[in-house]
């Protein structure tokens, strides 16, 4: 919102810098004023000392004894040295925020800093519209410094102060390009989708919630087309895949939320990225879809469960029959404090009316993501451990030992396959758990992934007379639905319900032991962008008995924690680079907050780093 100064400070057509700051007493000295400006520099990347030279300094006070208080000679000399003017305003005259401004005429304009998107993580930079609608956006119309990259604008952090009503004040957020923003097109990673649909009329419910809490949305990030896990070099066709800043700069992204991971891993000036998927991270690893994103970019995630966020305005693989299926909100950050604050702020309204999830036993209304869970055991599934890379496993072992000693928890190795043979449902335990779950995720995932876009394909063909483009990867993925019936899809969900009931009763022991579980995740070294990725299961997963899909199919919160870096010899830089290593924890539904505190408490007590760096290395000390 623009503010006007008194008439005597009219600059005409010129532009003059200004700084607003709060007075703490009735007297003002050069030493105190300069200390305020120095503090601004430490706290904010937009403010610079140049804002205080040849400028207007605006002292804000709740009460002034006289319109223009008398100044000491030292203060007069300070202003002369700065070639600046000092004016005094009360809060009731102008409800100004502290921070840097520009004055044109008598009007104050907030200062924004432009950053180049060198990692090409964003599809569009955005700012809030000035039409008065607090949820309406418009593209940022600004030129790039070099001409090579678009720019993202960020406001001064000084304008906002966290308070109980707005705990996310000033937190800068990017959103994946399947979240609707009013006034902005949603691309869904597809040129055909972009061509068909115009600017959205409404902002996604979860984004509104974060805006209400004070967050600042700065742009939308790239994603795999149609929410598919498209990665270079052969799958990303419509839009160039974002760059992964980790290591030598030529490591590949992964997953559909690759832009979200790239944005937080690349830029110190960005605090949080929203993705969608089935897991969460709390560091930024290499680059990817929430869970894989974390593994690739190393960042910190927020754990979630199916149905904790308001689905309207988020394009996913949902269908009318099962509107929430495997999709959840993913929160990526380099700082666990942001993750915790978002969880603490997640006072989501109940979905009205309540809807049935893919688990027949779970009616989703209000999901309590702040449930206090005191786990008695940390399950280590021997079906998936140890990991193949000794260095990676050594780091995981060190992290598990940290959790054991700092949180006084028992680590319990357990074979899920053996436990299933003993305690699985009697009519199913004659099959191995892997065999029982053979198509449990395959059928619903690919059936819904195709049919959730039926209307889009029909609308596109009706308007243009030909089908929308899909990459060879997505064409093949969609084709899998041809051989999947609605009955098979429903059977898959029923099998997952059986799986969840068994895990809740015998593994996590929900509402009794409330155990947590550690899962393997991530590559130990190089994953080059120009190399075709090799997956043991192929491009299209089948069995739901897999550590990567464990939380996805069970609707469990998952936290991905960066714990170290593994050296590799780069064929790009011809020197030693470092790949981030992560550990991932899961717990009962609703244990999102407990997972974050469980991990960060142990890390803090043990002296391990809590925050992750942006750029090539996730941590300062790489050895």
Domain shared by 171 and 87, yes or no: no
Domain shared by 35 and 172, yes or no: no
pLDDT of residue 119: 97
Main-chain phi, psi angles of 419, to 5 degrees: -65, -40
- For the chain, percent of residues with pLDDT exceeding 90: 66
| End position of a domain, from candidates 84, 110, 136 | 110
Residue 320 is encoded by which pair of tokens? Answer: 């009318």
- For the chain, percent of residues with pLDDT exceeding 70: 85
Range 14-42 average pLDDT: 93
Domain shared by 438 and 547, yes or no: yes
Domain shared by 227 and 86, yes or no: no
d(CA 149, CA 142): 11
Tell me whether residue 135 is in a domain. Answer: no
pLDDT of residue 89: 87
Domain shared by 516 and 408, yes or no: yes
- 338-396 per-position pLDDT tens digit: 999 888 876 543 333 333 344 333 333 334 566 778 889 999 999 999 998 898 999 99
Q: 324 falls in which pLDDT band (50, 70, 90)?
A: very low
Task: Tell me whether residue 79 is exposed, middle or buried, using C-beta atoms within 10 angstroms of its C-beta: 0 to 12, 13 to 18, 19 or more.
Answer: middle
Domain count, the chain: 2
pLDDT of residue 18: 96
Domain shared by 451 and 561, yes or no: yes
Instruction: Quote the Cα angle for 261-212-129, to 5°.
Output: 80
Residue 166 is encoded by which pair of tokens? Answer: 């707005």
Which residue has tokens 């319900």? 497
Boundaries of domain holding 31:
3-110
Tell me whether residue 471 is in a domain. Answer: yes
pLDDT of residue 362: 37
- 57-99 per-position pLDDT tens digit: 999 987 666 666 789 999 999 999 999 999 998 866 557 899 9
Domain shared by 92 and 26, yes or no: yes
Range 439-445 average pLDDT: 93
Main-chain phi, psi angles of 262, to 5 degrees: -60, -40
- 268-300 per-position pLDDT tens digit: 999 999 998 634 343 333 233 344 444 444 454
d(CA 287, CA 284): 7
Tell me whether residue 148 is in a domain. Answer: no
Tell me whether residue 191 is in a domain. Answer: no
Q: How far apart are the two ends of the chain, measured CA to CA in Å?
A: 49
- Report the CATH number that the domain containing residue 232 is assigned in CATH: 3.90.1300.10
Q: How far is CA 2 from CA 50, 95, 111, 158, 224, in A?
A: 22, 11, 11, 16, 38
pLDDT of residue 357: 42
- 571-587 per-position pLDDT tens digit: 999 999 999 999 999 99
d(CA 418, CA 64): 76
Tell me whether residue 539 is in a domain. Answer: yes
Residue 197 is encoded by which pair of tokens? Answer: 């649909």
Residue 309 is encoded by which pair of tokens? Answer: 């966020």
Residues pairing with 569 in the sheet:
576
Mark residue 12 as left, alpha or beta (left: phi above 0; alpha: psi -120 to 50; beta: remaining).
Answer: left
The edge-to-edge listing of strands for the beta sheet with 99-104 is 3-4, 107-110, 99-104, 15-22, 55-61, 85-90
CA dihedral 609, 610, 611, 616 (to 10 degrees): 40
Chain-centroid distance of CA 467 in Å reads: 33
Domain shared by 35 and 170, yes or no: no
pLDDT of residue 360: 38
Domain shared by 167 and 279, yes or no: yes
Alpha helices in 267-313 (DSSP H): 290-297
Check: CB of residue 203 under 8 Å from CB of residue 313: yes
- 429-438 per-position pLDDT tens digit: 999 999 999 9
pLDDT of residue 364: 32
Check: CB of residue 148 under 8 Å from CB of residue 119: no
pLDDT of residue 595: 94
Burial 55-69 (b: 16+ CB within 10 A, else e): bbbbbbbeebeeeeb
Tell me whether residue 524 is in a domain. Answer: yes
pLDDT of residue 39: 98
Main-chain phi, psi angles of 408, to 5 degrees: 50, 55
pTM comes to: 0.90
- Please determine, for residue 323, whether its predicted confidence score (pLDDT) is greater than 80: no
CA-based diameter of the chain, in Å?
Answer: 91
d(CA 327, CA 87): 53
d(CA 234, CA 247): 22
Tell me whether residue 97 is in a domain. Answer: yes
Least confident of 11-25, 122-136, 529-543: 529-543
- Please determine, for residue 399, whether its predicted confidence score (pLDDT) is greater than 90: yes
Domain shared by 101 and 169, yes or no: no
Tell me whether residue 197 is in a domain. Answer: no
Range 310-332 average pLDDT: 63
- Please determine, for residue 546, whether its predicted confidence score (pLDDT) is greater than 50: yes
Cis geometry, peptide bond prior to residue 233 (ω within 30 degrees of 0): yes
Domain shared by 92 and 163, yes or no: no
Domain shared by 95 and 235, yes or no: no
């Amino acid at each position: 919102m623009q503010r006007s100064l008194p008439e005597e400070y009219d600059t005409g057509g010129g532009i003059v810098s200004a700084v607003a700051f709060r007075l703490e007493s009735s007297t003002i000295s050069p030493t105190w004023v300069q200390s305020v400006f120095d503090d601004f520099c430490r706290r904010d990347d937009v403010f610079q000392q140049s804002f205080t030279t040849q400028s207007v300094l605006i002292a804000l006070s709740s009460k002034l004894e006289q319109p223009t208080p008398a100044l000491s000679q030292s203060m007069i000399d300070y202003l002369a040295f700065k070639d600046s003017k000092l004016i005094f305003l009360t809060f009731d005259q102008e409800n100004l925020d502290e921070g840097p401004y520009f004055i044109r005429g008598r009007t104050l304009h907030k200062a924004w800093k432009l950053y180049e998107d060198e990692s090409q993580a964003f599809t569009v930079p955005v700012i809030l519209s000035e039409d008065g609608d607090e949820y309406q956006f418009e593209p940022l119309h600004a030129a790039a410094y070099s001409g090579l990259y678009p720019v993202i604008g960020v406001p001064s952090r000084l304008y906002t102060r966290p308070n109980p009503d707005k705990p996310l004040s000033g937190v800068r957020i990017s959103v994946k390009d399947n979240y609707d923003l009013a006034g902005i097109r949603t691309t869904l990673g597809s040129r055909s989708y972009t061509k068909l649909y115009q600017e959205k009329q409404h902002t996604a419910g979860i984004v509104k919630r974060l805006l209400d809490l004070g967050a600042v949305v700065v742009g939308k990030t790239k994603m795999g087309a149609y929410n598919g896990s498209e990665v270079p070099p052969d799958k990303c066709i419509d839009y160039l895949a974002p760059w992964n800043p980790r290591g030598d700069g030529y490591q590949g992204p992964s997953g559909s939320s690759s832009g979200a991971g790239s944005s937080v891993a690349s830029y110190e000036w960005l605090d949080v990225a929203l993705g969608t998927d089935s897991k969460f991270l709390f560091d930024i690893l290499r680059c990817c879809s929430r869970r894989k994103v974390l593994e690739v970019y190393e960042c910190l995630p927020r754990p979630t469960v199916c149905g904790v966020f308001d689905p309207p305005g988020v394009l996913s693989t949902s269908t009318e029959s099962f509107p929430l299926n495997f999709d959840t909100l993913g929160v990526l950050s380099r700082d666990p404090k942001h993750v915790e604050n978002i969880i603490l702020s997640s006072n989501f309204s109940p979905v009205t009316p309540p809807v049935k999830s893919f688990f027949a036993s779970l009616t989703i209304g209000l999901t309590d993501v702040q449930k206090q869970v005191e786990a008695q055991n940390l399950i280590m599934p021997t079906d998936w451990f140890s990991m193949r890379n000794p260095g990676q496993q050594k780091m995981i072992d060190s992290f598990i030992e940290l959790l054991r000693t700092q949180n006084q928890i028992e680590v319990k190795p357990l074979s899920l396959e053996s436990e299933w043979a003993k305690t699985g449902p009697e009519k199913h335990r004659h099959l191995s758990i892997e065999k029982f779950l053979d198509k449990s995720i395959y059928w619903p995932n690919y059936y819904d992934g195709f049919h959730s876009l039926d209307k889009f394909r029909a609308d596109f063909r009706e308007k243009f007379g030909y089908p929308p483009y899909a990459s060879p990867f997505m064409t093949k993925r969609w084709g899998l639905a041809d051989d999947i019936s609605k009955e098979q899809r429903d059977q898959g969900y029923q099998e997952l319900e059986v799986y969840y009931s068994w895990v809740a009763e015998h593994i996590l022991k929900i509402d009794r032991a409330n155990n947590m579980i550690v899962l393997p995740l991530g590559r130990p070294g190089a994953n080059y962008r120009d190399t075709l990725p090799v997956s043991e299961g192929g491009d299209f997963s089948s069995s739901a008995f897999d550590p990567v899909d464990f939380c996805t199919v069970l609707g469990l919160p998952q936290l991905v924690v960066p714990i170290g870096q593994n050296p590799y010899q780069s064929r790009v830089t011809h020197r030693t680079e470092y790949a981030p290593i992560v550990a991932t924890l899961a717990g009962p539904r609703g244990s999102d907050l407990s997972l974050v505190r469980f991990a960060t408490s142990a890390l803090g007590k043990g002296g391990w780093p809590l925050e992750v760096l942006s750029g090539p290395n996730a941590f300062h000390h790489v050895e």
